[in-house]
Amino acid sequence: MDMVAAGKPFASRCAAQGEGDQGPMMQAEWCNRANCPNQAVTSLGEQNYCFDHFCIQCYELLERAEGETARGPSGMPTQREALLALDECAQRALEISLGAIELNNLDRARLLDILLWSGDLAGIMRMRRSQASVSVAN
């Protein structure tokens, strides 16, 4: 059972546990950030990231999305893209936490924070989107 979002495959649970098809991320790929010598643990959008750069990228995305939710409803295409990015961010954090790489408590806490914050912001955006569609219908 392979899962796909935003056109990129996620590791199945078997692959995350080291069983079965390992998928494309199990090949030696490197972080796409300039001058980073670390191996990629996942991708976000079209970019491969090591653990630290993945967390940095997610926090930047979360801060931008939080700014958008604080300003209120925005344009539908931008909001839809933000929702997709938040969902991918949460899914990738979950993928890493269930994966085969060894994580310390701080790393686990960072992933949990990303997962929960993504869920909170996506929930707010979806609620506002449904409220906006109800008010337009009236």
* Residue 48 structure tokens: 């491969």
Contact 5, 88 (CB under 8 A): yes
pLDDT digits (tens, 9 = 90+) for 68-87: 777 765 554 578 888 999 99
Whether residue 33 has pLDDT greater than 70: yes
- The crossing angle, in degrees rounded to 10, of helices 76-98 and 105-137 is 150
Least confident of 16-20, 26-30, 64-68: 16-20
pTM for the structure as a whole: 0.73
What does pLDDT average to over the chain?
A: 80
pLDDT digits (tens, 9 = 90+) for 46-68: 999 999 999 999 999 999 999 87
Beta bridge partners, 39, equal 30
Q: How many CB atoms lie within 10 A of CB 101?
A: 12
C-alpha span between 87 and 20 (Å, rounded): 26
